[in-house]
Structure 1
């Protein structure tokens, strides 16, 4: 694709947008940056662009910046019904994204992972397994750095492993060679409005596959299982609960891969370093993906037996005065926090809060009553979380767990320290987004770790 001289408008200057701008300018495109934020709020990203020859249009997303372009590229966080994007489509201007452009230009086979929960761990596991199998691997997408900056380093012999969010998948017209939908539960309904629309975006990861591609799907999750009907590729299921004739499943305590009547033991789940049943599911999915990409059983076993997790996901931070501290900032939905509470040994003091996704908290409250010594609610969603726990306690006629509502994250940690006793675990597992106080969950997690370690 020749981009030289093309008038391209990038809508949304965030992490992905800055990488995209650098890439486009390097290839001779005439770039306009459109962002609704003022320049003063974009200094972090503008500093990454430096003195590149681009036109900056900030403070609003203007229609004239998109209808006069040869192409519009949209960052994932930008709503697709923005008036300037609607106008571009009405004027026949192609509206695409960094992810879609990357798929068009990438010479290497791509493994893609999406789902409501487990994406990051599964993506990271697959990248490590393929490296153990001797491949040159690039891991990115919704985690790490955008890979469009590294296209010059990627060859046909490389492998690319991408975590893909529903936002990144919305505009896709191509699917990865090997793809997975880990599970689908209500999420991002502030953007997608309905579960059906959210699921439809997720389906793009398998919808455009070819017959020789592979779709790895979760038999135990209804919507992931139903995605099989939408993939033209070969479907491989995984399951914790069902003994599959074909696919990856449990045989007693063993992860077993079955193909064409042959069964191979991978690893006993008692040898996994990852905590929780949800990580057994992630390990099953990663096994299916890695085998689908041609890795051997030995590489899978070697990685699963030593992999301890990813940053911000049940990440041990410190043990101080007999109290263990965990960073689970990536838990931006109730389901993720439930998985954390069920995985960690107690007694637990959990810090929940941030900006609400307006999802049901009933299931989370039930698990908190069963697993937690105390719940500390913070941030914008503090009142909503406190109310959910209090309602559950009244309904069941119980007094525990102790519930406290505070202001920002530092106050939540201060209250947790006051309540904690030797043998307790304090975990930041917010069940909400970070956008009331932080750029993303990573910034929130880093802040939590600094607060913990400052008291070491």
Structure 2
């Protein structure tokens, strides 16, 4: 895409890399660049500093109508809703709406391996990246990865480079106008999420489906057979399609579904041990190892990498053991499903720290799992916590158990001090909020960083 001389407005600078990458790339391509973000300059100071020396104008703390009337191209941050009235103004004045990830796809010469899903996409992406890197292949990791400027990876990518991209539903929306999908598509699962942005799970799932919709017959797609949504999508993909199934014990090609006994064609796991916790991580590992096998990586390289692969930051991350108590950072648990999965990863007694703001998702069986598996529960305040409290009361009554909630604390240190006071040697102190973090924290990564700082201060 030729940006030379174009008036480019980057909508949403952010702190995690996407907006910075778009602004840097547009400026380096010779565009006239403005950046607009509702966050104030003091919050965005690190991002502004990272772009110093480039010819970029910053309009921070507000969105101005005149900037959207001025733009030839608006590059929207993934967090900006498609329904934004400012984007409508830009379109009415003839602007094209683009996203950073689409610019990357259009310019990338390497083979793109895209991974999406409601849960597990970061772990699966990171493990695929590590396996490919261990094989000696030139490999990069980008997409929905905190702190990575994906567009800035382009200078190091050649035709033989393996490009592993974690892709969110919002990023995948950016591919649809160009009718492009990655050469290799991996889908971990689909659960209700972001229903404060999408009209329902169907619209959310369809955004995810852009990862395979525009593939070709000689491309490759791998789906988790054990999740109803990804199983269905696997029957629709135009590419060479494989399924993975933890329940069936391995992987198989889509064509084998029509066989009388598809289990006979299952290719088993290629690993024997992993330091990762939880059944969901076995699903992630099976997806990653199957993908690596289909890309021609030797089984021994795959198995060795799996044995040495540790949890990704903020995802059931074991921070430290203090006085016999294991401190687990699961701050990217921003949905009830994630909260349930986090609890199910442990057999030891759990002191749970949860709570935050709602995304209007069904609580489903998370409250039941909290009552069943948590001895003590400390909550952070928020609209989600307000939804959770009566559900916990009802579930405690249904299970004939006392309600384990010990209090709601608006200060993280007070919450963690209280949680710590309830722990005993052999316990797990699990920080798995199950809701979003905005209000008390910048985002879930800031939330997890503050939990780590607390644990390391003990």
Do both share a fold (TM > 0.5)?
yes
Aligned to 1:61: 63
The residue number in structure 2 matching 1:8 is 8
Q: Secondary structure at the match of 1:246?
A: strand
- C-alpha distance 233-201 of structure 1, shift in aligned 2 (>3 A): same
Show the counterpart of 1:327: 329
Structure 2 unaligned runs (5+)? Answer: 255-261
For 1:243 and 1:452, how far apart are their aligned partners in 2? Answer: 38
* Correspondences of 1:141-160 after superposition (within 5 Å): 141-144=143-146, 145-160=148-163
Tell whether the 8 Å contact from 2:336 to 2:364 is kept in structure 1 after alignment.
no
Superposed, 1:33-432 pairs within 5 Å as 33-144=35-146, 145-172=148-175, 173-242=179-248, 246-247=252-253, 263=267, 266-268=270-272, 271-380=273-382, 381-432=384-435
The 1:244–1:427 alpha-carbon spacing in structure 2 relative to 1, beyond 3 Å, is closer
Structure 1: gaps (5+ residues): 249-257
Measured in 2, the distance between the counterparts of 1:232 and 1:362 equals 33
Q: Which range moved further: 419-428 or 374-383?
A: 374-383
3-state secondary structure, aligned to 2:448: helix
Q: Using a 3 Å threshold, how does the CA distance of structure 1 residues 414 and 301 change in structure 2: closer, same or farther?
A: same
* 8 Å CA contact 2:251, 2:266 repeated in 1: no
CA change 1:299–1:289 in 2 (3 A) is same
Residues 315 and 332 in structure 2, CA contact (< 8 A), matched pair in contact too: yes
Deviates further, 301-310 or 236-245: 236-245
What is the rounded CA distance, in whole Å, between the counterparts of 1:448 and 1:41 in structure 2? 20
Helix, strand or coil at the partner of 2:189: coil
Tell me the CA shift for residue 79 of structure 1: 1.0
Post-superposition offset of 1:229:
4.1
Structure 1 CA distance for aligned equivalents of residues 297 and 214 of structure 2: 23
For residue 218 of structure 2, give the secondary structure of its aligned residue in structure 1.
coil
CA distance in 2, matches of 1:96, 1:80: 11
Cα distance in 1, alignment partners of residues 394 and 286 from structure 2: 37
8 A contact 1:140–1:161 mirrored in 2: yes
CA distance in 1, matches of 2:265, 2:353: 48
Contact 1:215–1:231 (Cα < 8 Å) also in 2:
yes
Match of 2:22 in 1: 20
Supply the distance in 1 between the matched residues of 2:168 and 2:126 (Cα, whole angstroms).
15
Question: Any conservation in 2 of the 1:362–1:388 contact (CA below 8 Å)?
Answer: no
How does the TM-score come out when normalised to structure 1?
0.92
CA contact (8 A) 1:386 1:403 kept: no
Tell me the distance in 1 between the aligned counterparts of 2:419 and 2:328: 12
SS in 2 for 1:212: coil
Question: 2:26 aligns to what SS in structure 1?
Answer: helix
Tell me the number of residue pairs that the alignment of Structure 1 and Structure 2 aligns.
444
Change in Cα spacing, 1:33 to 1:374, as seen in structure 2 (3 Å) is same
- Distance verdict in 2 for CA 1:265–1:174, change over 3 Å: same
Q: State the distance in 2 between where 1:260 and 1:388 align.
A: 44
Give the deviation of 1:421 after TM superposition: 1.2
1:259, distance to aligned residue in structure 2 (A) = 12
